[in-house]
């Protein structure tokens, strides 16, 4: 089967890494994946399996030019992973004969995010109606967690039988190779004070303000430092909060880094403080490396990954006191490494590829527009 993945709205986040991991895993499983990209020098592309075709269609392809490319490579299934790409793909597909099957991969609770913004109710209703019209054009959706599937059904009215719940191929062999690379940051050298690590864009979703307040409480009991990897508009606000709480010297925001896994493998604890997620890849990666993890019980993913808190600290969203207590426990009495690593087992690339392959085969040309059976 020839499967195309769209990465036109190209960034340097978890979506790009997971799409590249998925394409690589499917290539190793015997499929013929194409990565259709707008930036052939984009982050993570150097990690792509050599058997994956990487097609550069330029930074701003039109629906017509994308349709011509998909027609030329004879893609049977096309998967997009961001809203901008979903819309572009829907327009392009109208120009292709025979039309390939369209799958929208959804990595965030779209309806929940829209409602969390507040604002003018008529505008929200208009947005929901627009998204529902868009998603009716897809033959199916790939949800990265059961919570995402519920959100698609409840908010966008996607029939449950058209949704495949498939785990991200988060854990690859390359993860462990990258984890062993050197880190120049002085706080991660042997014999240093324990470090609590977080990673992700500095934005509202991640709620790093709660993490900084929790860390300040925890540091009153345990000598430690806090490092948050990522870029974003909240950088100065978080630094100011750290100074206000008297932990400025123990807080560092070094920005985005190409290889966060080398930091994860050397951290004493990995913390996720998000208000919402889809399926938090960084939490899975840290667990796979054996680093103790704590997380908020947000929509969606952490509860499933940590098995209701059995495999790592799980606390209420926005509760800095509970998060501080979880940090102290993880720093002073970490769980067995084998427990932590078991949280990542379903997210190994081979297991994910098998689940993807089974779902994609239902969209083979001889079963085009099937009544798909949901995969859980």
pLDDT in tens, 285-295: 999 999 999 99
- At 208-263, the pLDDT tens digits run 999 999 999 999 999 999 999 999 999 999 999 999 999 999 999 999 998 999 99
CA 42 – CA 73 distance, rounded (Å) = 22
Burial class (CB in 10 A: 0-12, 13-18, 19+), 249: exposed
CATH number of 2-169+348-367: 3.40.50.2000
If pLDDT is split at 50, 70 and 90, which confidence band does 172 have?
confident
What is the reported pLDDT for 366? 61
Q: Domain 173-346: which topology?
A: Rossmann fold (3.40.50)
Whether the CB-CB separation of 358 and 372 falls below 8 Å is answered with no
Domain ranges of the chain: 2-169+348-367, 173-346
Residue 367, pLDDT score: 47
Q: How far is CA 77 from CA 9, 33, 80, 196, 364, in A?
A: 19, 10, 10, 42, 8
In this chain, the answer to whether the domains covering 2-169+348-367 and 173-346 adopt an identical fold is yes
Mean pLDDT score across all residues of the chain = 92
Cα–Cα distance measured from residue 119 to residue 114, given in angstroms and rounded to the nearest whole number? 10
- pLDDT score of 12: 74
pLDDT of residue 371: 42
373 has pLDDT over 60: no
- Among the ranges given (153-157, 219-223, 371-375), the one the predictor scored with the smallest mean pLDDT: 371-375
Looking at residue 36, its pLDDT comes to 96
The pLDDT of 178-207, averaged and rounded, is 95
Residue 68 pLDDT greater than 50, yes or no: yes
pLDDT at 370 over 70: no
Q: Could you tell me the sign of the dihedral formed by the alpha carbons of 32, 36, 40, 41, in that order?
A: negative
DSSP conformation letters of 299-343:
BSSHHHHTTTTTSSEEE-TT-HHHHHHHHHHHHHSPPPHHHHHHT
Sign of CA dihedral 87, 14, 198, 235: negative
Mean pLDDT computed over 261-270 = 98
Does position 177 have pLDDT exceeding 60, yes or no? yes
106 SS3 class: strand
pLDDT tens profile 70-99: 999 999 999 999 999 999 999 999 999 999
pLDDT in tens, 300-355: 889 989 999 999 999 999 999 999 999 999 999 999 999 999 999 989 988 899 99
Q: Residue 118's pLDDT is what?
A: 66
Comparing CA positions, the residue from 210, 361, 334 lying closest to residue 272 is 210
pLDDT above 90 for 29: no
For residue 368, pLDDT over 60 is answered with: no
Question: Residue 10: its pLDDT value, please?
Answer: 87
| Residue of 21 and 224 predicted with greater confidence | 224
Whether 228 and 336 have beta carbons less than 8 Å apart is answered as no
How many angstroms separate the CA atoms of 126 and 248, rounded?
44
Task: Indicate whether 374 pLDDT > 90.
Answer: no
* Tokens coding 286: 């840290």
Predicted pLDDT at 119: 65
DSSP string, 162-217: GEEE-----B-HHHHHHHTS----GGGSTTPPPEEEEES-SSGGG-HHHHHHHHHH
Q: What is the pLDDT of residue 13?
A: 75
Mean pLDDT of 51-65: 95
- Residue 238 to residue 229: CA distance in whole angstroms: 12
Asked if the model's pLDDT at residue 59 lies above 70, the reply is yes
Residue 140 has pLDDT above 90, yes or no: yes
- Assess contact for 197 and 236: CB atoms under 8 A: no
pLDDT at 120: 65
Q: How many residues does the chain have?
A: 376
Contact 227, 185 (CB under 8 A): yes
pLDDT, tens digit (0-9, with 9 covering 90-100), for 109-123? 888 778 776 666 787
């Amino acid at each position: 089967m020839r499967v195309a993945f769209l990465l036109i709205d190209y960034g340097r986040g978890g979506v790009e890494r997971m799409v590249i991991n998925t394409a690589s895993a499917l290539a190793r499983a015997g499929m013929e994946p194409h990565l259709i990209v707008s930036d052939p020098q984009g982050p993570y592309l150097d990690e792509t399996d050599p058997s994956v075709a990487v097609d550069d269609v330029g930074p701003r392809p039109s629906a017509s030019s994308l349709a011509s490319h998909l027609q030329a490579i004879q893609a049977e299934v096309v998967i997009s992973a961001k809203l901008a790409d979903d819309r572009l793909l829907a327009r392009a597909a109208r120009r292709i004969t025979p039309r390939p099957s369209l799958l929208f991969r959804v990595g965030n609770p779209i309806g929940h995010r829209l409602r969390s913004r507040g604002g003018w109710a008529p505008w929200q209703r208009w947005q929901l109606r627009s998204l529902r019209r868009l998603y009716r054009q897809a033959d199916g959706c790939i949800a990265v967690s059961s919570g995402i599937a519920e959100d698609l059904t409840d908010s966008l009215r996607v029939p449950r039988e058209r949704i495949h719940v498939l785990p991200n191929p988060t854990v690859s062999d390359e993860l462990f190779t990258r984890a062993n690379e050197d880190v120049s940051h002085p706080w991660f050298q042997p014999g240093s004070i324990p470090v609590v690590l977080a990673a992700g864009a500095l934005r509202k979703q991640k709620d790093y303000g709660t993490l900084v307040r929790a860390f300040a409480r925890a540091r009153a009991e345990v000598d430690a430092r806090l490092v948050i990897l990522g870029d974003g508009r909240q950088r100065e606000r978080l630094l100011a909060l750290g100074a206000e709480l008297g932990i400025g010297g123990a807080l560092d925001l070094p920005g985005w880094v190409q290889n966060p896994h080398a930091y994860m493998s050397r951290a004493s604890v990995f913390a996720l403080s998000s208000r919402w997620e889809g399926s938090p890849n960084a939490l899975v990666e840290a667990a796979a490396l054996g680093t103790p993890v704590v997380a908020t019980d947000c929509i969606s993913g952490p509860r499933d990954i940590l098995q209701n808190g059995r495999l790592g600290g799980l606390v209420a969203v926005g509760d800095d006191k509970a998060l501080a207590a979880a940090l102290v426990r993880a720093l002073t009495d970490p769980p067995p490494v084998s427990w932590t690593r078991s949280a990542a087992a379903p997210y190994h690339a081979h297991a994910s590829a098998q689940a993807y392959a089974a779902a994609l085969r239902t969209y083979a040309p001889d079963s085009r527009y099937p009544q798909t059976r949901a995969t859980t």
